[in-house]
Amino acid sequence: MPTVFTLFGYRFWFYGNDHTPIHIHVKKGGAVAKYDILPVSLVYNHGFKASELKMIETILKDNEEIIAQHWNTFFNNAK
């Protein structure tokens, strides 16, 4: 599970055998969520409050190019 980055206690990662479209998983404590990237869109949320989701979405929008770059680098090298 490659971690892209950790910020404010939120861990942003994807699975090594993940599938398209480009997406990211987020975890903090017992809460998890999944977002598609490009554009940023919530897929599911289990336990985050609305205010946390807003912060996560802001982080993702500010870093969507970095996330896509990590995804493409990882999966292009995995082939």
CB atoms within 10 A of CB 15: 10
pTM of the predicted model as reported, rounded to 2 decimal places: 0.91
Dist. CA 70–CA 19, nearest whole Å: 14
Token pair for 73: 């680098």
pLDDT in tens, 29-57: 999 999 999 999 999 999 999 999 999 99
Residue 75 pLDDT exceeds 90: no
